Structure 1
Amino acid sequence: MDEKMKDVSVLELLLKPELPDVRKVLPEKQVEVPRLSEFAGEPVVFTLRGLSYDQVRMVQEKPRGDQAAFGVLYGCVSPKWGDGALLDKDRGIATPIDAIKARLISGEIDELYMEIQQLSGYLRRTISDVKNG
């Protein structure tokens, strides 16, 4: 009796139209990059968004050394690293990944990626154990 009722209630929850489609609606947050703020003389704030399941898999398929940069590429709403204004082939900035590596220090890339991972449900518990009663 209990198991069947639990299954039904979970199914009902998953069918609720209010439950967001996380392929399209993911958590966002704004973060400041202090080094850039100091350089600019005003707050430099990035808008980050969690990654979809498919985006996480795309990041994981990249070489280990580039995963954080690709995570920032996919999870950064603002600035848009693909914006042509950030590219400068004469300075060796031909791709959005080049732009990230040219403008952010490695610790900033890693920390931004950690924030994006948290928004994606990683680096924290997203499920909890059920006590047998």
Structure 2
Amino acid sequence: MENEKNASVLDLLLRTDLPDVRKALPEKRMEVKRLSELAGEPVIFTLRALSYKEIRDIQDKRREDQAVSAVLYACKDPDWRDQRLLSAVSGAVTPLDVIQARLSPGEIDELYVEIQKLSGYINRTLREVKNA
């Protein structure tokens, strides 16, 4: 009787007003305080959530490369792949080198935490349902 009153999970998933999370990735702007102090003006990064495929690609990397790879994938601004950055950082061969040259390890890890939150990790996204 109660099931008749409530829509099924399938019915809920079929609703057209549910966003396609592959196309509507959440974004967030984060200020890197140390860089802002050095620059004398706000240095604000625009981060976006990672797609499922990007998450899996990052998880396939060595543990020590995962956080910096997430920063590379998730930063809309700055674009760490910009050739001007590679040219500006002595000894940089890859965008990962540039990130590690410009950001402290703590800043990389803090950005990684924010990226994980945007991607649905860290905060609980599921709730256990117990029989009454």
Does 1:44 pair with 2:64? no
1:54-111: per-residue Cα shift (whole Å, max 9, x none)? 1100000010001000010111111111111111288111211111011001000000
How many residues matched? 132
Output aligned runs, 1:19-30, within 5 Å: 19-30=18-29
Output aligned runs, 1:1-133, within 5 Å: 2=2, 8-88=7-87, 91-133=90-132
Structure 2 unmatched runs, 5+:
none
- Return the TM-score normalized by structure 1: 0.91
Structure 1 unmatched runs, 5+:
none
Q: 1:23: how far off? A: 1.4
Identity of aligned residues (%): 59
Partners of 2:89 and 2:98 within 8 A in 1: no
In structure 2, C-alpha distance between the alignment counterparts of 1:72 and 1:36, rounded to whole Å: 16
Q: 1:9: how far off? A: 2.7
In structure 1, C-alpha distance between the alignment counterparts of 2:31 and 2:89, rounded to whole Å: 29
SS at match of 1:47: strand
Deviates more, 1:68-77 or 1:19-28: 19-28
- Return the TM-score normalized by structure 2: 0.91
**How well do the aligned residues superpose, as a CA RMSD in angstroms?**
1.8
Moved over 3 A (4+): 1-6
1:24-83: per-residue Cα shift (whole Å, max 9, x none)? 211111110000000000000001111111110000001000100001011111111111
In structure 2, C-alpha distance between the alignment counterparts of 1:96 and 1:5, rounded to whole Å: 54
40 and 128 in structure 1: CA distance in 2 versus 1, 3 angstrom threshold: same
